[in-house]
Amino acid sequence: MSETIEVLDRERIELNNLLVNKAEYSQYLTPVSVARFMASLFDKDKLENPKILDAGAGIGTLTAALMERLVSEQKTFSAECTLVEVDNILGHRIQDTLSPFRGKLALESLEVPEDFIEWGVSVLDKQLGMFRQLDFGFTHAILNPPYRKIRSNSLHRKLLRSVEIETVNLYSAFVSLAIKLLAEGGQVVAIIPRSFCNGPYYKPFRQLILEKTTIKHLHLFESRDKAFKDDAVLQENVIMMLERGGNQGQVKISTSKDDSFTDYNETYYPFDKVVQKGDEESFFHIPTSQEESIVELFPSVKYSLKDLGISVSTGPVVGFRTKENLRMMPEDGTVPLLYPTHIEPDGVKWVKENSKKPNAIVRNDDTEKMFYPNGFYTIIRRRSSKEERKRVISGVVIPDIFNSPVLGFDNGLNVLHKEKNGMQRELAFGLDVYLSSTLVDKYFRLFNGHTQVNATDLRAMFFPSTEILVLLGSWSLSSKDDITQEDIDNKLKEVL
């Protein structure tokens, strides 16, 4: 290839030491291999006279990768591109990045040294008259946006609201704006963290995608820490290709371990495997094997926790806000306090000696409202660690081990309860068995790419009926030997 852009990889690594705003602007520049892959995702038959947007453009690597493709495939003689980059240290290099292509294409480029949210909103407001200049919006958007929380009282939030974008992070804001700036039939390719797939705060973002675009392709990097070898980005990343308008057909799902794409693999899935019918949260599932999920395998797995009369709450005790009431060991006037660490492989253990976490909390007027009556509860860790084999780690709180009328639950736990009370013993154990199964772990990973287990995730999951859960619970209670993973998986299949 004559217009090799490999030099940009060297520049990217050199720049790493020069960037003073690296963290603030999340200046993790895209490796050339990933940029080329992203550029390859646009439809071949849409490449004529493209009007390209690159938002948060860095040194322009993504646009360059697309130029390289245009030149090598000879699909067009001209291209227009708009690159918006807030940091001049990077923005000043865009001209150099694009210069090798100028002789090969009639290339018009506009470098905008501005904040993309401010610029994009003003373009949408037609204040700049850009649409007249651009005719009818962009045909292509390619982006690796910054990620940072957007505070609720910030200018960004206000501006976004003015164009009906409700979102909590810069990455979803960038993609939302890019979608809105696209012409009908235009395509956007973006690399973003996977957290939007199920995070409760990303629901409006998912809805905007579903309303305005069709999802054509999702690519998942399977290894959390290897996607970008040179930057320590510990996020699971997704590349998506969306088209403005159009009819939603099958979705191409591909995976690779890392940015070398050596083990690249792709499969088409029906759309309702990605966004399930009737899912009010519109979670995005990313199936990575043809294997059917527990919900597809067993039609009896069809009840939400709400259908079962079970609520899920995060533990009400926030340790650092009530430090003065925490006690390492129980004493007069305290009640038991449970942390994620109290869930051990063979059940909930309390008191935990030599633990870094307190075992008790003083019962007084300030803490009283934080307690639940002693009873049977299924509790689930809100975070697992990467090393743990499973994402959903649960246990059953058994009232007999506490000599107390009430219990405290730390905020690091999700608590399953019935109207703030415990539940039938067999049901609590049945939920624990179900949540501990391999099939549920696989099901959970379809929509949750991180190690966090949100209450919303649990609310959106499907369970078997109360009767089946009670059956599972009774089985585990009557088992004399230690129950293995294999026992759980076999028993679950048997009762379903």
Ligand X SMILES: C[S@@+](CC[C@H](N)C(=O)[O-])C[C@H]1O[C@@H](n2cnc3c(N)ncnc32)[C@H](O)[C@@H]1O
List residues binding ligand X (CB under 6 A).
25-30, 56-58, 61-62, 84-87, 90, 115-117, 144-146
Give the span between the Cα atoms of 320 and 316, in whole angstroms. Answer: 12
Query: Closest distance between ligand X and the C-beta of residue 266, in Å?
Result: 22
Query: Closest distance between ligand X and the C-beta of residue 476, in Å?
Result: 47
CB closer to ligand X, 85 vs 457: 85
Query: Closest distance between ligand X and the C-beta of residue 112, in Å?
Result: 8
CB closer to ligand X, 90 vs 301: 90
Query: Closest distance between ligand X and the C-beta of residue 68, in Å?
Result: 14
Give the span between the Cα atoms of 13 and 7, in whole angstroms. Answer: 10
Query: Closest distance between ligand X and the C-beta of residue 144, in Å?
Result: 3
CB closer to ligand X, 117 vs 189: 117
Give the span between the Cα atoms of 253 and 18, in whole angstroms. Answer: 37
Question: Which DSSP symbol is given to 346?
Answer: T
Question: Which DSSP symbol is given to 200?
Answer: G
CB closer to ligand X, 210 vs 233: 233
Strands (DSSP E) found in 292-359: 311-314, 326-327, 334-338, 343-344, 347-348
Give the span between the Cα atoms of 266 and 423, in whole angstroms. Answer: 45
With 0-12 CB in 10 A as exposed, 13-18 as middle and 19+ as buried, what is 494? exposed
In this structure, are strands 51-55 and 106-112 parallel, antiparallel, or unpaired? unpaired
Query: Closest distance between ligand X and the C-beta of residue 356, in Å?
Result: 36
With 0-12 CB in 10 A as exposed, 13-18 as middle and 19+ as buried, what is 423? buried
CB closer to ligand X, 30 vs 414: 30
Mapped onto helix, strand or coil, the DSSP state of residue 95 is helix
CB closer to ligand X, 56 vs 315: 56
Radius of gyration of the chain (CA): 26
Which parts of 280-391 fold into alpha helices (H)? 294-297
CB closer to ligand X, 87 vs 426: 87
Query: Closest distance between ligand X and the C-beta of residue 371, in Å?
Result: 44
Using CA atoms of 245, 246, 250, 251 in order, give the dihedral in degrees to the nearest 10. -30
CB 271 within 8 A of CB 215: yes
Query: Closest distance between ligand X and the C-beta of residue 113, in Å?
Result: 9
Query: Closest distance between ligand X and the C-beta of residue 38, in Å?
Result: 8
CB closer to ligand X, 156 vs 363: 156
CB closer to ligand X, 28 vs 377: 28
In the block, tokens 């690779």 appear at 256
Give the pair of three-digit tokens for residue 453. 């287990």
CB closer to ligand X, 30 vs 359: 30
Beta bridge partners of 303: 463
Query: Closest distance between ligand X and the C-beta of residue 117, in Å?
Result: 6
In this structure, are strands 106-112 and 78-84 parallel, antiparallel, or unpaired? parallel
Give the span between the Cα atoms of 350 and 339, in whole angstroms. Answer: 10
In the block, tokens 């058994």 appear at 398
Mapped onto helix, strand or coil, the DSSP state of residue 16 is coil
